Each structure stands twice: as structure tokens, then as C-alpha cells.
Amino acid sequence: MAPTSDDRTTSASGESLDREAIALDCARTLDEHKARNTIALAVGEICSFTDYLVISTANSAAHARGLQKQLQSVFEQYAVNPLNGSKRQQDNSWTLIDLGFVVVHIMTAEARAFYELERLWFSGRELFHSVDEKADGLEPSERQSSKSPSVSS
């Protein structure tokens, strides 16, 4: 099913909802609860199964479960429910929460590095991105200098 041109959907209670706001609230909630490198992407124009992706890294399986519980407050606020609950890999490395119009991925660092979901959806429009200061292995001073253009003679 292709996404509609407007960015609204209807909640279980029949209210009109802003899907982008829900995706952003999911990303902000994950970020506020110490998830690392959270990103929200608008992918509706390039994806047939959802309009928004939220991808985040949890510190542990227990942290991932806690993050999932924190998202419940967002779902309750907007009166939306995950389709068929949520899915978790047996090794607890990846939790997927599917709202239909928003799909949330909470992953361990190892799973995120292996699957590289951002690379699959690189052409999506970035709505939110909180970068962990050490996620890329660089100190903040090194990161700044690595962004500077190099000058060759």
C-alpha cells in the first residue's frame, strides 16, 4: 500500500494524527532514555511498507526492553498500537516495533553494524539524528578536524 500524499493517519479512537510527529516523538523518547545514535528517516517516497523509520542502538538487551517500554507512553499519547505486537530476535540483538506508518528498530551495536539499515535507506530524508560522541570512535577534537577540507599543493 503506497503512503498517502498527506502525512496524517487515524488513531484507534478515530482522531487524525500527524505521522511525522509520532516518528519524531519516538526518536526523541529513545534519545532521552540513553539510546545511542538515534535516527529518524522519512522513507515514504522510496519504501512501499512504511513512511518513517526510527533506528536506535541500545546498550544491552535489558536497555532495549526498557526503551520499548518507554515508547509505550508515546503510543498511548497518540492512541496507536503496534501491529502484531513487537518482534525480538532470539538473541535480543534487534527489536522491531511496527506501527504501519512508523517502524522502530532498537538494535545492539553489533546488530546495527552488521545490518547497516541506514545504508539501505540512505536516500530517505533525515528528520532527527542524535550522534553519540564516541559512536564513530573519534574524540570530538578529531571529528572536527576530520570534517575540514584537505588542502593539497
Query: Residue 75: left (phi > 0), alpha (psi -120 to 50), or beta?
Result: alpha
In this predicted model, what pLDDT tens digit does every residue of 65-112 receive, in sequence order?
A: 999 999 999 999 999 999 977 777 778 899 999 999 999 999 999 999
Share of the chain above pLDDT 70, in %: 76
Q: Output the pTM of the full model.
A: 0.77
- Ranges of each domain in the chain: 12-131
User: Coil, helix or strand for 2?
Assistant: coil
Q: Which residue has the higher pLDDT, 150 or 113?
A: 113
Q: Which residues make beta-bridge pairs with 94?
A: 107
pLDDT at 4 over 60: no
Give all strands of the β-sheet with 36-42 in edge-to-edge order.
Answer: 86-88, 94-98, 102-107, 52-57, 36-42, 125-130
| Amino acid 146: pLDDT | 37
Domain 12-131, CATH 3.40.50.960 — does that match?
A: no
Give the separation between CA 53 and CA 47, rounded to whole angstroms.
10
